[in-house]
Structure 1
Amino acid sequence: MGQNDIRVGVDIGGTFTDVALLHPGGLTTGKVLTEYSQPEQAIIDAIVKAAGDAGVGLGEIGQVIHGTTLVTNALIERRGAKTALITTEGFRDVIEMRSENRFEQYDLNLTLPVPLVPREHRFTLSERMAPEGEVLLPLDPGEVEAMVERIRDGGFEAVAIGLIHAYANDAHEVAMGAALRTAMPGLSVSLSSVISPQMRELPRFNTVIANAYVQPRVADYLGRLVARLGDIGVTAPVFMLHSGGGLISVETAAQQPVRLLESGPAGGAIFAADLARAHGLDKVLSFDMGGTTAKICLIEEGAPKTANTFEVARTYRFKKGSGMTVSTPVVEMVEIGAGGGSIASIDSLGRLQVGPRSAGSEPGPASYGRGGEDPTVTDANLLLGRLDPENFAGGSIPLLPDRAEAVAARLELSPHDAAFGITELVDENMANAARVHTVENGRDIEHFTMIAFGGGAPLHACRLCEKLGIRAALVPPGAGVGSAIGFLKAPFSFEASRGLFQRLDAFDAGAVNEALEALEAEARAFVEEGAEGAETAVRLTAQMRYSGQGWEIPVLLERKRFGADDVAMILAAFETAYRTLFGRIIEGLPVEITNWVLSVSTVLPKVKPVAHQSGGSPAPVIRTRRFYDAALRAHVDASEVDRASMTVGMTVEGPAIIVESETSTIVTTAYRAIAQSDGALLLLAKETRE
């Protein structure tokens, strides 16, 4: 292993900043608390700590891979640039009118997201393109000059340009953007035809606005990060994990930061997908529970499920439909407020509720002793005996049971009842989210294997499996910093898209092939920034629907170029995908293609298959501890086992607690844990045939 093979992944979460350093001696991982005011400081601290633990010089690091929640947080907290929107006359209020969907049908006081750009900062041009790209109303040069002066006089830091049908012809957007950049070279200008060249003006406008809004802040942050790394001797190139699960250069990320929206959670999905391939699992439920949220993702045939739209900045934090829809490639997952720092309270009807508010890292759960005054999931797990107060986070954060008991009294329950109620409610919320997500994708959850990682997931995995009827779960090595490890396993990739509306009965293969060639060239150019000469794979998806429907479904196509005789093949692929989702097809309706999506990614190295271990000698027990087994509604005497002492095939019968520096795995009475050859723990229901 040379210098270029020493790589470090760093993931900033809402509570912890996780680090994973791959070096000649193996993999060194760790956690530090996230600093909200200076997120780059936590990265520096984490890298310095990991390098010191591994005995690696900072100058020896050959690559830094980073994922961040900065973009999402900036949109949620409205901490972006002063932004203007330039659009076509008559479409100024699209982002405020939204889709007219009432996500809470009977709420008379419904709160909708406030647009990132207020109405007085939204300006229009008298121009118009047709859906096929013809110029219906030319752009007036005098109007362009007047718009430049208006932007200059307004003191704007960023401008989003979203003109109608710019995905079909970008000439007017390019001309307006060029005029602004010439007059104000320091201005951040984002074009919808570059950021999201797809049909549907609402998500396209939202996406280009979100990009412009955060671009100055993200570019400044990434510039500071690279400079600070250089100051401590890390001169390696920095790459970012984008929300679709691949790596892009820091320069691309600075220009298109909207692609970073879900970069941290995407790392976790890659981590789980890599483990699924190694264990030969075709149907996996990825369960990532950290300090602030829990994320659930479906992984089939070794790849996480992806989507082209995503909601951010929800007014009802985890309510689908209440956010701002952006169109950018993203690993599709369900996110709920069920992290270790999620705060419990009593609502106006006297019911116990958990989340969506989180104590985060500042001040953190009450048991941290850092000023937290609210009961959290971590406090509840401590009171139920699932956490060792002397050995939390490797002993770096001593927990205070008396503080957890004191804040539990606020819930007007005994400390034990409050703790049980909090954990059981969180587990049921997560189970329900998993059920809904799998049903929406036409799957039966009982046939899946769970992969649990993140600091909180191993504590809750067995109970979640009990609720879902899942018989087997895997807790991988390094589970506490799974997303950071996932960064090290991510391919270089870029996804390009284009709106090109066609009915299948009028399919124009020439126009489609021309568009696909341009998309592939665009995607390859970005991939070669970080992986020139590497073997690549191309993935093509058509967004399709029946004529008259209001939304499309993604249809994966094997062929990358088409002839007129391929219409039957495309139709068959659409009907297969439609039947999988909805159970039937609709006979007699014409089919349409709205958007094409093409991604290029480097080919991942083949994983080493892991032979299944069905059990062997019992693992050595450190001591006996008591914890509360929710399924039995009783305290049980549990064996405490050091995970590092478990060799291949060793078995731990539940109830048990398997401890390590970054998390603990709770093995309930109904399960047993078996050490696998790659260091993973297989949690298996006892009545399951091995």
Structure 2
Amino acid sequence: MAWRVGVDIGGTFADFAALDTETGRMQTLKVLTTPGAPGQDVGAGLARLVEAGLQPAQVERFVYGTTVGVNTIIQRRGAGLALFTTAGFTDVLELARLRMPDPYSLFCERPEPLVPREHVFPIEERMDAEGATVTPPGRASVAAAVAAAQAAGCAGIVVSFLHAWRNPAHEEQVAAMIAELAPELFVFRGSEVWPAIREYERSTTAVLNAYVHPRIDAYLERVEAQLAAAAIAAPLLLTTSAGGTMTAQRGRRDCVGMLLSGTASGVVGAGVVARAAGVPAVLTLDIGGTSADVALLIDGSPAFGTGHAIGEFPLAIPTVAVVSSGQGGGSIARIDALGVLQVGPESAGSTPGPACFGRGGQNPTVTDAALLCGILGQGELGFGAIAPDKALSEAAIAPIATALGSDAATAAEGVLRVAISGMLVEIDKLLARAGIGASELTLMPFGGAGPMLGALLAETAGIRRVLVPPVPGTLCALGALAADLRRDTMRTVLLPLEDAAWARLDGIFRELADEAATVLREMGGDGGVDTTLAADLRYRGQSYELTVPVPAAALGQGVAGLAALFHAAHEESFGHSDPDAPVEVVSLRAAARRPAPPLPMPRQTLEPHEAMPEAAIRLRLDGAWREAGLHRRTALRPGGRFAGPAIVTQSDCTVLVPGGWTATTDELGNLVMEHA
């Protein structure tokens, strides 16, 4: 007998999925997170799994994902940092790309950098674009900058110099000086985190890495201690932003590699469900306690990319293409200075949590609003971890209701609508970039609050089909079990795609593939490794490039094969191409992976029938109280059909089926909703 355990730590709940590989039985669980004592939630969940039959000594795979990184950035609760830059380039974070987040808004402002301008210090050094030293780093300027960082109370330093992607020597020399002058400060180099061209993206990625490093490092230390206390000997694996896994040892330094850790594993889990259900185009919606995260799945596979936003900042490393917004179940509602109702990004988390949790929270949240609208409170909340108190929600939302001149229920419905509007902004952007219409998609909501708001969001977005997995509240933990061991490498080359450069390009491809495979084997031992290649290409003179997958067959065709792939990709993305124009290779990439063991997806026989509600309840929908049916998910059999408005309760979440929608349970246990 052997067990595989997946864990996802969110802003409010820690989710667990434990698979008995001998019987195929999956045990799922939610416990409240413990922000004041990180890691204890893992120990608490494992103790309950042991009570349910888990044998710690038989755990052969333990995979851990967390949103602590992205939540730290969204809530701006990371480490105080200093940034050392090339003298004359200290405004790199302030200038960014000189773009406004919303160019059509007269009130739009660029986000404040995570490193304030007064904590950015110049270093007297310079390297030319070819990587040759012009001015070596001056020790006096480094010492002055270190002293200023210490005086400012900074906990760590990011060193990011011009052209360090070409030659990291100056960054390495300065990092060594810092270690000598101030060993108490942690240091990250831009060329170490991600050696890509473009100083703003490279610097921002390094800053993100350093900003979350202390919290992630502390989390991993405590989680490993909890595993040891629980007698689990399996090595701790972490889910990564690219939808794979890596070892905890590597994760302590590669913090940006797990910024979208829990989020990406949810997308991986959604892909498992989508492939089994045969759904070709899916928009995932993962709503936890702090954020709402959306991604596209085509034939069960997510899109990958670089430069995707983490909060308000671009991330240069390859990630599952997930977009986050600050509207989660614990997001706080408020009236702003202009008298406008706002929701998020500040979250109550699990401590003190939403007001209805009775844990000291005083601010109204999305969860409180759902309780006041009758959506929650009809069954268990978080596997019985919480017994929500409606009176506390009413007291918390009273100031908002007074400001709006409404009753508590009307104000609560307004909170839900504002939260949905915030999510819709990001969804519209995502679909526009992908060139996909909402009507082509099936929405798959999961997370503790996803199924609660999924159909309302789908209706607003123009999506007419919603698929809710059997255990949506713990799908991220399930996805952790399905995540492959993975390692990504890249190198910026800036070479023309010409025959004269092909030998060098081919050699770098092989070096990157060998490096990725070597690191993968260091993490996971000997065994089979699948390696994929990609190239960042552009027409000469273009400012930005396309990442093009490079199959082995095309690699064997040399320049002609790579050029043909780029022209086809450009045509697909932009509607035109120029086969006669010269092409430039910006960067080369390799990814090595070892597939995770498959997950069982049992099917049952469909028996079409009308599923009758067990009780009648009242819901606040569309500005009025309406009668609705109450169903228990465990009582719904494959083929069962019912119409909304209705609520479906289950241990890990609550599903809302609005009026005008019908719901049917399929042979996999998914609840499929369709708009009339």
Q: TM-score, normalised by structure 1?
A: 0.87
Question: Partner residue of 1:280?
Answer: 278
Q: Distance in 2 between matches of 1:74 and 1:348?
A: 25
The equivalent position to 2:373 in structure 1, one of 354, 360, 384, is 384
The equivalent position to 2:658 in structure 1, one of 656, 668, 674, is 668
TM-superposition CA deviations, 1:626-682 (whole Å, max 9, x none): 32443xx65443332221122322223333222111112122232222222322212
Task: Tell whether 2:457 aligns with 1:464.
Answer: yes
For 1:665, the aligned partner's letter is V
How many residues get paired?
Answer: 666
In the alignment, structure 2 segments of 5+ residues that lack a partner are none
Matches within 5 A, 1:78-93: 83-93=81-91
Task: Tell whether 2:501 aligns with 1:508.
Answer: yes
Q: Distance in 2 between matches of 1:533 and 1:122?
A: 45
The equivalent position to 1:627 in structure 2, one of 614, 619, 632, is 619
Alpha-carbon contact 1:9-1:20 (below 8 Å) kept: yes
The SS at the match of 1:435 is: helix
Q: CA deviation at 1:490?
A: 0.5
For 1:91, the aligned partner's letter is F
Task: Tell whether 2:630 aligns with 1:640.
Answer: yes
* Range with greater deviation from structure 2 (332-341 or 580-589): 580-589
For 2:127, the aligned partner's letter is R
Q: Distance in 2 between matches of 1:430 and 1:640?
A: 27
* Range with greater deviation from structure 2 (232-241 or 164-173): 164-173
Alpha-carbon contact 2:11-2:71 (below 8 Å) kept: no
For 2:656, the aligned partner's letter is I
Question: Partner residue of 1:167?
Answer: 165
**Gap change, CA 1:549 and 1:670, over 3 Å in 2:** same
The SS at the match of 1:508 is: helix
For 1:675, the aligned partner's letter is T
For 1:100, the aligned partner's letter is L
Question: Partner residue of 1:269?
Answer: 267
Q: CA deviation at 1:433?
A: 3.0
Q: CA deviation at 1:117?
A: 6.6
Q: CA deviation at 1:266?
A: 0.8
TM-superposition CA deviations, 1:44-72 (whole Å, max 9, x none): 212222232x2223343333221223333
In the alignment, structure 1 segments of 5+ residues that lack a partner are 315-322
Q: CA deviation at 1:282?
A: 2.2
TM-superposition CA deviations, 1:239-294 (whole Å, max 9, x none): 11111111000010012112121111111111111111112222111111122221
Alpha-carbon contact 1:11-1:483 (below 8 Å) kept: yes
For 1:617, the aligned partner's letter is H
Q: Distance in 2 between matches of 1:552 and 1:329?
A: 14
Alpha-carbon contact 2:431-2:437 (below 8 Å) kept: yes
The equivalent position to 2:639 in structure 1, one of 643, 649, 669, is 649
Q: CA deviation at 1:612?
A: 10
Q: CA deviation at 1:432?
A: 4.2
Matches within 5 A, 1:156-555: 158-177=156-175, 188-312=186-310, 314=311, 323-388=312-377, 391-410=380-399, 411=401, 412-504=405-497, 508-555=501-548
The SS at the match of 1:255 is: coil
Q: Distance in 2 between matches of 1:206 and 1:468?
A: 32
* Range with greater deviation from structure 2 (383-392 or 331-340): 383-392
TM-superposition CA deviations, 1:477-508 (whole Å, max 9, x none): 21011111111110000111111112335772
**Gap change, CA 1:593 and 1:560, over 3 Å in 2:** farther
The SS at the match of 1:268 is: helix
Question: Partner residue of 1:49?
Answer: 48
**Gap change, CA 1:369 and 1:213, over 3 Å in 2:** closer
The SS at the match of 2:479 is: helix
The SS at the match of 2:555 is: coil
Q: Distance in 2 between matches of 1:338 and 1:108?
A: 21
Alpha-carbon contact 2:445-2:454 (below 8 Å) kept: yes
Task: Tell whether 2:583 aligns with 1:591.
Answer: yes
Alpha-carbon contact 1:19-1:29 (below 8 Å) kept: yes
**Gap change, CA 1:628 and 1:96, over 3 Å in 2:** closer
The SS at the match of 1:36 is: coil
Q: Distance in 2 between matches of 1:60 and 1:607?
A: 18
**Gap change, CA 1:425 and 1:555, over 3 Å in 2:** same
Alpha-carbon contact 1:613-1:674 (below 8 Å) kept: no
Question: Partner residue of 2:112?
Answer: 113
Question: Partner residue of 1:17?
Answer: 14
**Gap change, CA 1:79 and 1:440, over 3 Å in 2:** closer
For 1:285, the aligned partner's letter is L
Question: Partner residue of 1:34?
Answer: 33
For 2:7, the aligned partner's letter is V
Q: Distance in 2 between matches of 1:606 and 1:169?
A: 42
Q: Distance in 1 between matches of 2:607 and 2:465?
A: 14
**Gap change, CA 1:357 and 1:413, over 3 Å in 2:** farther
TM-superposition CA deviations, 1:322-375 (whole Å, max 9, x none): x33332222212222222222333344444333233222222222223333333
Alpha-carbon contact 1:475-1:681 (below 8 Å) kept: yes
Q: CA deviation at 1:200?
A: 0.6
Sequence identity percentage:
31
* Range with greater deviation from structure 2 (388-397 or 101-110): 101-110
Q: TM-score, normalised by structure 2?
A: 0.89
For 1:424, the aligned partner's letter is R
Matches within 5 A, 1:130-141: 130-131=129-130, 133=131, 135-137=132-134, 139=136
Q: Distance in 2 between matches of 1:80 and 1:657?
A: 39
Alpha-carbon contact 2:90-2:120 (below 8 Å) kept: no
The equivalent position to 1:557 in structure 2, one of 547, 550, 554, is 550
**Gap change, CA 1:525 and 1:151, over 3 Å in 2:** farther
Q: Distance in 2 between matches of 1:525 and 1:80?
A: 32
Q: Distance in 2 between matches of 1:138 and 1:36?
A: 46
Alpha-carbon contact 2:266-2:477 (below 8 Å) kept: yes
* Range with greater deviation from structure 2 (354-363 or 213-222): 213-222
Q: Distance in 2 between matches of 1:345 and 1:212?
A: 31
* Range with greater deviation from structure 2 (288-297 or 463-472): 463-472
Alpha-carbon contact 1:306-1:330 (below 8 Å) kept: yes
Q: CA deviation at 1:77?
A: 5.8
Q: CA RMSD in A?
A: 3.1
For 2:628, the aligned partner's letter is A
Question: Partner residue of 2:569?
Answer: 577
Task: Tell whether 2:94 aligns with 1:96.
Answer: yes
Alpha-carbon contact 2:213-2:255 (below 8 Å) kept: yes
Q: CA deviation at 1:183?
A: 7.9
**Gap change, CA 1:594 and 1:392, over 3 Å in 2:** same
TM-superposition CA deviations, 1:412-462 (whole Å, max 9, x none): 312232233222333344344323311211112211112111111112222
Task: Tell whether 2:65 aligns with 1:71.
Answer: no
Alpha-carbon contact 1:7-1:61 (below 8 Å) kept: yes
Q: Distance in 1 between matches of 2:465 and 2:577?
A: 34
Alpha-carbon contact 2:38-2:222 (below 8 Å) kept: no
**Gap change, CA 1:180 and 1:343, over 3 Å in 2:** closer
For 1:114, the aligned partner's letter is P
Q: CA deviation at 1:559?
A: 3.1
Q: Distance in 1 between matches of 2:390 and 2:306?
A: 45
Q: Distance in 2 between matches of 1:611 and 1:478?
A: 15
